[in-house]
Chain A
């Protein structure tokens, strides 16, 4: 057996299916994207090679591209600084509550994640509707009529409205990952700290958060990649509008490829998009240096 497994040809043979799938499903499309990004192909007929023209245009004169990237960064920041602290707090509370209530709350918070995005997006479009939408109706009821807005139809509020939907949709995932992380921290650590006189908040800042660091890292990375990739919710609610006020990279790429017949240009955007995702990933690896907490 050892002889067979140490044979290089056998190793190659065993690795080959995976290698082929990786090459054709991941590597080849990326290489093709880089090539098509250097053409002015409309998606119909033959591509015409234009070199780095598309990339130059995107970087130096495409304001919508930068706006889309900026919006994605806003969403990422909203995930990291708003959604995640709330999700972590709720995960701790659910973990603490215990019993049947724990299961009920866990399920309730996870419900938005199992409903298709199309449904939740339509629901939010209705909630935001200025005429019959629940949000404006509640504001009226609370005598806060002056706060009423044309949520998705106004350049000032469209982006924040879309960000709120995205945060609501992804809340369950963030919570679930933190919750699973919390379950992995041994109870004895808290007991030992309490014997040493640690109080409630200190327990969490000194034990929970540091020990959850690997989980936080994974959760942040997922959230940021998700923010950069945001497409469905935007497409279904504002389609990037009004104008390009709530435009996101993936949706913008889609519009260029399928509405403007600029398939080459869209591929160039996709290449820059991949680079942006990689850069964020590397940045995160640097910020969260691996530290081993043993317990």
Chain B
């Protein structure tokens, strides 16, 4: 081999090596970028800021297990309390920057405008055929016969009470309204707040008013029909229920300044055993297992039906129940399929319903009785018994059954009623006026 041939050979070899390594490099870059591209980020917007107990703990557990099973998926959670959640949600809607998966209240006052405007992605019935959702539970997550969200819980109202305080002051757990009034008087005399309630939030007052209407009438439809027909002010049952509510306020049935108390304040008052009762929904089932609460409280917490009213037609088993909270996927999400997969993963009966129930964190929206182990807390057992014995249920509560403005105004009127800023008669007249404006 001449010197020249050797030079040419070495040059060709070097060029070849260079080209090969360059291609290898490019391919490497492609592979690397392809694997980076595979990382999918899902933005999850939740109304459960407490990630260590109750539903928030369950939500986080399922999100973590999904990320573990799918290492290429990163789920970014933003969690706010109910009211800030609603406001931020509307900001997202107005700016058209919906999170990929978000919590929704399955109520016309919240979810209907969202579904109507096409912000939520459709969920096909075949996708959830083995999920054990009853059609009734999906009703408020449907629009024009299509499903846009999945309910996570069965919500119903109960009267939580503290067994220890009732026995200490020798008070009978009330089964009638007059017993409730008497119990309130005894607790007040002893410096204990009778019923803890979050009056600043207003919605609870409207629900309590409906509870009294149902216990007075025994008719779950009465309040909805009266509003639809705009025939409210002369309805004697509605008037009596408003008077009952005022009477409960007059005997000091709630903690002092309950009108200014928010959710946390009312909940703490009960959990710190400074209130004998707590009017709240089944979503507080996790109180009995909450590590933040004292053992004494957890031992004493129990639940019962809201009392019946002597002379009223309602039974104790006529309860207010609905499927409120749930999840939906954004129709405009760039990772819609992945977000949908996550939703279906979380809501699979063996996860949200089974794990949630067995850990005492929620009362699921799907059938939970098949997951009972016998190791449930007293509260879980009592709530199951209350719900399974229900002879009638309300569905979406009255203030949520119409327009968003109806909800805001009706709730404010309820607050005015309990603050005695208006009389029961004026309250009904104002609701009628509101119905005429808002209900078509």
Report A's interface with B, CB cutoff 8 A. 42-45, 125, 128-131, 150-155, 158, 237-239, 241-245, 255-263
Which of chain B's residues have a CB closer than 8 A to the CB of A45?
A: 113, 116-117
The 4 A-B residue pairs with the shortest CB-CB distance, nearest first, are A153-B257, A242-B419, A243-B416, A130-B256
User: Contacting chain A: which of B13-21, B46-54, B85-93, B225-233?
Assistant: B85-93
Nearest opposing residue in chain B for A46, CB measure: B117
Given the known A-B contacts A245-B421, A260-B408, A261-B404, are A150 and B256 also in contact in the complex, defined by CB atoms under 8 Å? yes
Which of chain A's residues have a CB closer than 8 A to the CB of B372?
A: none
Is there an interface contact between B257 and A245, defined as CB atoms closer than 8 Å?
no
Given the known A-B contacts A153-B257, A154-B257, are A261 and B113 also in contact in the complex, defined by CB atoms under 8 Å? yes
Q: Which of A125, A242, A256 contacts B416 (CB 8 A)?
A: A242
The answer to whether B415 has its CB under 8 Å from any CB of chain A is yes
Is there an interface contact between A153 and B256, defined as CB atoms closer than 8 Å?
yes
The answer to whether B69 has its CB under 8 Å from any CB of chain A is no
Which of chain B's residues have a CB closer than 8 A to the CB of A128?
A: 257, 260
The answer to whether B412 has its CB under 8 Å from any CB of chain A is yes
The interface residues of chain A, by DSSP majority, are classed as: loop
Q: Which of A42, A243, A244, A259 contacts B113 (CB 8 A)?
A: A42
The answer to whether B405 has its CB under 8 Å from any CB of chain A is yes
Q: Mark B405-429, 1 if CB is under 8 A from A, else 0.
A: 1011100110110111110000000
Which of chain A's residues have a CB closer than 8 A to the CB of B162?
A: none
Is there an interface contact between B421 and A243, defined as CB atoms closer than 8 Å?
yes
The answer to whether B119 has its CB under 8 Å from any CB of chain A is yes
Complex formed: what's the CA distance from A162 to B13 in Å? Answer: 85
Complex formed: what's the CA distance from A89 to B421 in Å? Answer: 38
Which of chain A's residues have a CB closer than 8 A to the CB of B404?
A: 42, 259-262
Which of chain B's residues have a CB closer than 8 A to the CB of A125?
A: 260
Complex formed: what's the CA distance from A182 to B184 in Å? Answer: 58
Q: Which of B274, B408, B409 has the most CB of A within 10 A?
A: B408
Which of chain B's residues have a CB closer than 8 A to the CB of A150?
A: 256-257, 259-260
Given the known A-B contacts A261-B90, A261-B113, are A155 and B420 also in contact in the complex, defined by CB atoms under 8 Å? yes
The interface residues of chain B, by DSSP majority, are classed as: helix
Complex formed: what's the CA distance from A153 to B416 in Å? Answer: 11
Complex formed: what's the CA distance from A262 to B421 in Å? Answer: 25
Which of chain A's residues have a CB closer than 8 A to the CB of B90?
A: 43, 257-258, 261
Can you give 15 contacting A-B residue pairs, CB < 8 Å?
A43-B94, A44-B119, A45-B113, A45-B116, A130-B256, A151-B257, A152-B259, A153-B257, A153-B261, A155-B416, A243-B419, A244-B412, A244-B416, A259-B407, A260-B404
Which of chain A's residues have a CB closer than 8 A to the CB of B418?
A: 242
Q: Which of A130, A238, A255, A263 contacts B408 (CB 8 A)?
A: A255
Is there an interface contact between B117 and A238, defined as CB atoms closer than 8 Å?
no
Which of chain B's residues have a CB closer than 8 A to the CB of A158?
A: 260
Is there an interface contact between A259 and B200, defined as CB atoms closer than 8 Å?
no
The answer to whether B326 has its CB under 8 Å from any CB of chain A is no
Nearest opposing residue in chain B for A261, CB measure: B404
Nearest opposing residue in chain B for A245, CB measure: B421
Complex formed: what's the CA distance from A153 to B252 in Å? Answer: 13
Is there an interface contact between A44 and B260, defined as CB atoms closer than 8 Å?
no
Q: Which of A43, A131, A242 contacts B255 (CB 8 A)?
A: A131
Complex formed: what's the CA distance from A47 to B114 in Å? Answer: 15
Complex formed: what's the CA distance from A235 to B90 in Å? Answer: 18
Complex formed: what's the CA distance from A251 to B249 in Å? Answer: 27
Which of chain A's residues have a CB closer than 8 A to the CB of B202?
A: 241
Q: Which of B86, B193, B419 contacts A241 (CB 8 A)?
A: B419
Complex formed: what's the CA distance from A241 to B420 in Å? Answer: 12
Given contacts A158-B260, A257-B90, A262-B404, 8 further A-B contacts (CB under 8 A): A130-B256, A130-B257, A131-B256, A153-B258, A242-B259, A258-B87, A258-B90, A260-B409
The answer to whether B149 has its CB under 8 Å from any CB of chain A is no
Nearest opposing residue in chain B for A45, CB measure: B117
Is there an interface contact between B260 and A153, defined as CB atoms closer than 8 Å?
yes
Q: Which of A43, A238, A258, A262 contacts B200 (CB 8 A)?
A: A238
Which of chain A's residues have a CB closer than 8 A to the CB of B409?
A: 260
Which of chain A's residues have a CB closer than 8 A to the CB of B257?
A: 128-130, 150-154
The answer to whether B314 has its CB under 8 Å from any CB of chain A is no
Q: Which of A237, A244, A258, A262 contacts B260 (CB 8 A)?
A: A237
Complex formed: what's the CA distance from A263 to B95 in Å? Answer: 13
Is there an interface contact between A241 and B200, defined as CB atoms closer than 8 Å?
yes
A196 to chain B, nearest CB (A): 56
Is there an interface contact between A258 and B86, defined as CB atoms closer than 8 Å?
yes
Which of chain B's residues have a CB closer than 8 A to the CB of A257?
A: 90
B256 to chain A, nearest CB (A): 4
Which of chain A's residues have a CB closer than 8 A to the CB of B419?
A: 153-155, 241-243, 245
Given the known A-B contacts A43-B93, A258-B90, are A243 and B422 also in contact in the complex, defined by CB atoms under 8 Å? yes
Complex formed: what's the CA distance from A129 to B418 in Å? Answer: 18
The answer to whether B199 has its CB under 8 Å from any CB of chain A is yes
Complex formed: what's the CA distance from A130 to B113 in Å? Answer: 40
B90 to chain A, nearest CB (A): 5
Is there an interface contact between B421 and A155, defined as CB atoms closer than 8 Å?
yes
Is there an interface contact between B113 and A153, defined as CB atoms closer than 8 Å?
no
Which of chain B's residues have a CB closer than 8 A to the CB of A152?
A: 257, 259-260
Complex formed: what's the CA distance from A144 to B86 in Å? Answer: 43
Nearest opposing residue in chain B for A132, CB measure: B274
Is there an interface contact between A44 and B199, defined as CB atoms closer than 8 Å?
no
Q: Which of B119, B408, B415 contacts A243 (CB 8 A)?
A: B415
Is there an interface contact between A153 and B199, defined as CB atoms closer than 8 Å?
yes
Which of chain B's residues have a CB closer than 8 A to the CB of A243?
A: 412-413, 415-416, 419, 421-422
